[in-house]
Structure 1
Amino acid sequence: MKDIKSWLKEHGVTEVEAMVPDLTGNARGKFIPAAQFLEMGEPRLPESILIQTVTGEYSDEHWDFVAPTDADMVLVPDPDTVRLIPWAREPTASIIHDCHTMDGKPHPLSTRNVLRRVIELYTAEGWQAVVAPEVEFYLVARNVDPDQELKPPQGRSGRAESSRQSYSIDAVNEFERLIEDMYDYAEAQGLDVDTLIHENGAAQMEVNFLHGDPLSLADQVFAFKRTVREVAHKHGIYATFMAKPMQSEPGSALHIHQSVVDIATGDNIFVDADGKQNARFRSYIAGLQTFTPNLISFYAPNVNSYRRLAPELAAPINLNWGFDNRTAAFRVPQSSAAATRVENRFPGADANPYLAIAASLASGYLGMNQGLSPTEPHLGTANEDAIEVARSLEEGLRKLQDVPELVEIFGALFLSAYEAVKLDEFEEFNRVISSWEREHLLLNV
């Protein structure tokens, strides 16, 4: 708190956003005047906020996971997450907090704590996991009617994109002022944003982050998604991280590049002294292949997520891996020996970054720990092979608790709560009658 106090005074902060990421990856918390924040001690919030559905509802099994009194939990501010909010009118800081039970233990329902537990597995082995996320999103015209389809927004030319502009410089420049503000806001918050490209979809962008510590990068993706939405609002449009926001456009992903280094030497453990990829690297890939079917709901956490994971779209549908193969689920990019890594292409942009990174690292850890062997690298177009993963949220949740090692890592309570919340979302969605059903079934069945 001493460091935080100095920082708040240095920047003339008058208000603090004390926040925690919930199960869906949304920011929950409270606004506190800075003077009160420094004097009141550690803030508290009801532990139930951690397991709300994406619509803010509670599962019917809610009381199986939290105290029937809806007890408080203690929030401990993380000084590494203190950021100045560049879009606020008054000097405002956001601080991500760690969630603890009233007796001081890490709260088992906190997704940030889940990722920490996975990182600790690596630390116990003398390893440091390294990740580099790539975040895709769409810019869309303002849309206040949920029954209307989303459309690309007008750029500076006054026209909306009507064709694919993959990697186009000029298409990005259509939103030059928005992009400049995005980078300015990211820099003001200390986000390690690197390159930006125009992706395959109309007004679809991708931002890459510099590689680093998994928890720090999860925090940054969490902050970045809020930032992009705010920048878009400033410019009179929306930014969406839905996995598949438009029927005729490709989905948006959260690709995660990952490697592991030896803490003592700093060497990449995926290669031997001669620079060649080793058995440990292959076992890491095998872990991703083995446990992704169980953890797919962490990569595809919403009913909309599975519209992205479909044949003939730019997303994986099976468990193939390959060298520099963007059609495979697990891609090994061309790189130097020291930068040897694997890219997990399953997570959607709608994923909770803490859970997506935790799932990926846990899978690789178990693969190495158990000495698993992968399939042969795929040499062709992988998405022409058979579908090997779930096609709906309900199906994706069925295998979540089938592997004892995963239950031990993530915690039985957390997995049960996650499953209950996501099944509640699925059932709520399943009650909605779509326009397709009215059009094709109303008078024909």
Structure 2
Amino acid sequence: MRTIEAPARPAAPQTRASIGELHDFLKAHPEIEAFDLILIDPNGIPRGKTVRRHEIEGIYETGRNLPGSILGLDVTGEDVDETGLVWSDGDADRCAWPIPGTLAPALWTDPPRGQFRVALHEMDGRPVEADPRHVLQRRIDALAEKGYRAVAAFELEFYLVDMAEGDSVPQPARLPLTGARPDGTHVYGIEELDRLEPFSRDLYRAAAAQGLPVETLISEYAPGQFELTLHHRDAMQAAEDLVALKHLLRGVARRHGMQACFMAKPFADRAGSGMHMHASLCDMDGRNLFADRDGLLAPPLLSAIGGLLDALPESMLVMAPHNNSWRRFSAQSYAPTTPNWGINNRGVAVRVPAGAPGGRHLEQRMAGVDANPFLVAAVTLAAMARGIAAERDPGLPADGDGSAAGDAPPLPRNWTEAIEAAQGSSFLKDALGETMHRVLLAIKRSEAARFAAYVSPLDYRLYLGTV
């Protein structure tokens, strides 16, 4: 009989959540009997399972095996074998370990459930390089080696929609307080926010229970469109906050008879939804390297902007990852169409907001709300670091209409061109890592092929009786 080595017990990574964190939570929440285990895939979609209370301690002690193919799924949940994560390795398990600080109650569920997010590791404890969280951690570690710490915050634009009887497409949702369907563009409207009660009350309560630093709620530039801001934190925590907030919004909206919509462009004739990332770099003592210097913008800030502008054309697949993402970009729409920058100008790709000189930062405005915040942050930080290292001059800021074409290389015009630009990008391969670069391209090529093969209702309307 031949000798065959048995599978090794998973090695615990140093970054896993502590068992003490779990025990404190269980003591504080004896009523919670089930927990959602959540892994974020390359599309930013939460995947996982619901486990019972008696299982949870074992997960914190020894991890929970999950198939690595979860990170090789397309947006519909179908396997993409070209990722190398499905049949080429036998759909092998990896080990999921709880992430510190993510264990929280989900107040919108009845009966109440807990939830926690996990990161996927190889059985020897190494990070699985197709896990988006590890991609961002790699960029954060690279910055730390240079003496930098990234601070960031995301803005989240979204629609609240429902399906009116007889309609095949969603409509702006009837607001909970009045039952009326929003009509007209009431940007910054206070009455619109008042009519959103009691949804907004439950939103803030649920966010507080999860430790999410949710701040301002705004009525945005279309009926049923809103924006939430998050307080700035370390870059990893900022991305964690964003994925947690999207999940929370879906749950709270559902309990109020609505659906939180995170499509970049759900309505052809209305504003699209972005996911703007505010970012700065500090030294290890917490000093903002982007703070103004004698009334002038700091050289590191200008160089970071230059790096971002250089990287945008080849990074657009991360910023606009779906076919629908590309419907968001049009002139004078608050969605940038040119890789340019400006000061206190919302028509540009990279904006320097007005504000206190000591808190100066940049705002990357390209990403849609449908993008994966871990990958958006990873690419943004990598581009900023490259620009600083090269002391890249971004040129003069755009003045006035930021959508006017400038001297910068053009952005891809559509999803297909974005895929091709990403394919040939050595920058993107380095920023994401070779594995994630391969996985993301395989997923996007598969999705694009499926989309191209679909015969839509518009096809029939245009061609059925005419050609």
2:237 to 216, 226, 232: 216
Q: Which residue of 1 aligns with 2:444?
A: 422
Aligned mates of 1:233, 1:17 — CA distance in 2 = 17
1:375 aligns with 2:395: yes
Q: Which residue of 1 aligns with 2:208?
A: 187
Q: Which residue of 1 aligns with 2:27?
A: 9
1:142–1:236 contact (8 Å) kept in structure 2 = no
Q: Which residue of 2 aligns with 1:36?
A: 55
2:428–2:437 contact (8 Å) kept in structure 1 = no
Aligned mates of 1:127, 1:63 — CA distance in 2 = 34
Q: Classify 1:296/1:144 alpha carbon distance in 2 versus 1 (closer, same or farther; 3 Å).
A: farther
Q: Which residue of 1 aligns with 2:91?
A: 70
Q: Which residue of 1 aligns with 2:41?
A: 22
Q: Which residue of 1 aligns with 2:223?
A: 202
Q: Which residue of 1 aligns with 2:251?
A: 230
Aligned mates of 1:365, 1:81 — CA distance in 2 = 28
Note the alpha carbon deviations across 1:83-117, whole angstroms, 9 max, x for none.
11112223422111121111210100000000111
Structure 1's unaligned 5+ residue stretches are none
Deviation at 1:24, TM superposition (A): 1.0
1:289 aligns with 2:282: no
Code of the aligned partner of 1:317: T
Deviation at 1:67, TM superposition (A): 4.8
Aligned mates of 1:17, 1:366 — CA distance in 2 = 38
Q: Secondary structure in 1 aligned to 2:79?
A: coil
Q: Secondary structure in 2 aligned to 1:80?
A: coil
Aligned mates of 1:66, 1:255 — CA distance in 2 = 37
Deviation at 1:61, TM superposition (A): 1.3
Code of the aligned partner of 1:315: A
Deviation at 1:249, TM superposition (A): 0.7
Q: Classify 1:75/1:337 alpha carbon distance in 2 versus 1 (closer, same or farther; 3 Å).
A: same
Aligned mates of 2:396, 2:390 — CA distance in 1 = 18
1:301–1:350 contact (8 Å) kept in structure 2 = yes
- Segment drifting more, 387-396 vs 125-134: 387-396
1:153 aligns with 2:153: no
Code of the aligned partner of 2:432: F
Q: Classify 1:277/1:385 alpha carbon distance in 2 versus 1 (closer, same or farther; 3 Å).
A: same
1:47–1:66 contact (8 Å) kept in structure 2 = no
Code of the aligned partner of 1:426: A
What do you get for the CA RMSD once the two structures are aligned?
1.9
1:56 to 54, 77, 80: 77
Q: Classify 1:143/1:391 alpha carbon distance in 2 versus 1 (closer, same or farther; 3 Å).
A: farther
Q: Which residue of 1 aligns with 2:374?
A: 354
Q: Secondary structure in 2 aligned to 1:207?
A: strand
Q: Which residue of 1 aligns with 2:16?
A: none
Deviation at 1:192, TM superposition (A): 0.5
Q: Secondary structure in 1 aligned to 2:198?
A: helix
Extract structure 1 runs of 4+ deviating beyond 4 A. Answer: 64-67
Q: Secondary structure in 2 aligned to 1:382?
A: coil
1:315 aligns with 2:323: no
Q: Secondary structure in 1 aligned to 2:208?
A: helix
Deviation at 1:430, TM superposition (A): 1.3
Note the alpha carbon deviations across 1:186-217, whole angstroms, 9 max, x for none.
11111110101000011100000001111111
1:127 aligns with 2:148: yes
1:131–1:213 contact (8 Å) kept in structure 2 = yes
Aligned mates of 2:165, 2:122 — CA distance in 1 = 40
Q: Which residue of 1 aligns with 2:163?
A: 142
1:305 aligns with 2:325: yes
Q: Classify 1:183/1:291 alpha carbon distance in 2 versus 1 (closer, same or farther; 3 Å).
A: same
Q: Secondary structure in 1 aligned to 2:89?
A: coil
Code of the aligned partner of 2:58: E
Q: Classify 1:117/1:66 alpha carbon distance in 2 versus 1 (closer, same or farther; 3 Å).
A: farther
Deviation at 1:342, TM superposition (A): 0.7
Structure 2's unaligned 5+ residue stretches are 1-18
Q: Which residue of 2 aligns with 1:392?
A: 414
Aligned mates of 1:341, 1:409 — CA distance in 2 = 21
- Segment drifting more, 158-167 vs 252-261: 158-167
Aligned mates of 2:157, 2:247 — CA distance in 1 = 14
Note the alpha carbon deviations across 1:303-358, whole angstroms, 9 max, x for none.
11000012342201111100000011111011122111111110111111111111
TM-score w.r.t. length of structure 2: 0.90
Aligned mates of 2:40, 2:165 — CA distance in 1 = 26
TM-score w.r.t. length of structure 1: 0.95
- Segment drifting more, 377-386 vs 43-52: 377-386
Q: Which residue of 1 aligns with 2:271?
A: 250
2:292–2:360 contact (8 Å) kept in structure 1 = no
Q: Secondary structure in 2 aligned to 1:242?
A: coil
Deviation at 1:143, TM superposition (A): 6.0
